[in-house]
């Protein structure tokens, strides 16, 4: 099983600041099968990024995914009020599919 | 517009069974894989399993914590995906979500509570 470790656990930032979220895998992941989800309180998750760097339809370009091998990053270039949420990385190339434990982006 | 609507959750005793439904619209059901995820209260996301598109034989795969107890199927005439859950345990308590492919679209979820 591929273990995904996200850091930091919590990121305290102000609107307008840049957020950098890390996802490290226990073994190499095919970049085609790495995604990022956002979950706001009381809502279902939604897919932001698939295939490491491709934004899902309707996702603003301030969300940027990058990485390769075992190290992947989600960058939110300028935080908007609606971006304060929990973010999960996921690998869906090897069974069992696995998620990181999540990074909470909170208002400083 | 793609819509996914789960139903069938509720309170169930340990060892009992429950079947969740996911009614779909806005796409051709059999042409896409469907994936189920769950989220225990206050916890992170967990992959439950998926059913491949009908073109790929509608075969299934499951996560290790549910393999052998849960089964995913589809009614292609009605566009409904099912999650049959047997021998439910306390740790199966969670919000269950159905999704299109690996999570492109999500339903609102249905809550399953396993308790005596």
pLDDT tens digits, residue range A18-76?
999 999 999 999 999 999 999 999 999 999 999 999 999 999 999 999 999 999 999 99
Mean pLDDT of A91-107: 97
Contact list, B45 vs chain A (CB under 8 Å) = 37, 39, 45, 88, 90, 99, 102
Q: How confident is the model at residue B12 (pLDDT cuts 50, 70, 90)?
A: very high
Q: Which of residues 17-76 of B touch A (CB under 8 A)?
A: 37, 44-47, 61, 63-64
Mean pLDDT of B59-68: 97
Q: pLDDT at position A84, please?
A: 97
Strands A103-107 and A10-13 come out as parallel
Instruction: Annotate A42-100 with three-state secondary structure.
Output: CCCCEEEEECCCEECCCCCCCEEEEEECCEEEEEECCCCHHHCCEEEEEECCCCCCEEC
Say whether A56 and B104 touch across the interface (CB within 8 A): yes
Contact list, A102 vs chain B (CB under 8 Å) = 44-45
Structure tokens at A63: 């969300």
Q: Is B91 helix (H, G, I), strand (E, B) or coil?
A: helix
Q: How confident is the model at residue B7 (pLDDT cuts 50, 70, 90)?
A: very high
Q: pLDDT at position B83, please?
A: 98
Q: Is B30 helix (H, G, I), strand (E, B) or coil?
A: helix
Percent of chain B predicted with pLDDT > 90: 100
Q: How many angstroms separate the CA of residue A78 from the nearest CA in chain B? A: 24
């Amino acid at each position: 099983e591929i273990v995904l470790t996200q850091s930091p656990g919590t990121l305290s930032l102000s609107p307008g600041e840049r957020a950098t979220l890390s996802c490290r895998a226990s073994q190499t992941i095919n970049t085609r099968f790495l995604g990022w989800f956002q979950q706001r309180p009381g809502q279902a998750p939604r897919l932001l990024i698939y295939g490491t760097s491709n934004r899902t339809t309707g996702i603003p370009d301030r969300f940027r995914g990058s990485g390769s091998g075992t190290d992947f990053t989600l960058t939110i270039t300028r935080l908007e009020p609606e971006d304060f949420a929990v973010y999960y990385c996921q690998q869906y190339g090897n069974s069992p599919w696995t998620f990181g434990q999540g990074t909470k982006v909170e208002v400083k | 517009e793609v819509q996914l609507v789960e139903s069938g959750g509720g309170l169930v005793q340990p060892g009992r069974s429950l079947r969740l439904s996911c009614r779909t619209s806005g796409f051709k059901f059999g042409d896409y894989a469907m994936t189920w995820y769950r989220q225990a209260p206050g916890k992170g996301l967990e992959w439950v399993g998926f059913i491949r598109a009908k073109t790929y034989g509608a075969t299934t795969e499951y996560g290790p914590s549910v393999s052998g107890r849960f089964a995913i199927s589809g009614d292609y005439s009605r566009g409904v995906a099912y999650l049959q859950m047997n021998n439910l345990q306390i740790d199966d308590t969670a919000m269950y979500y159905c999704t299109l492919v690996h999570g492109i679209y999500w339903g609102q979820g249905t809550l399953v509570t396993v308790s005596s």
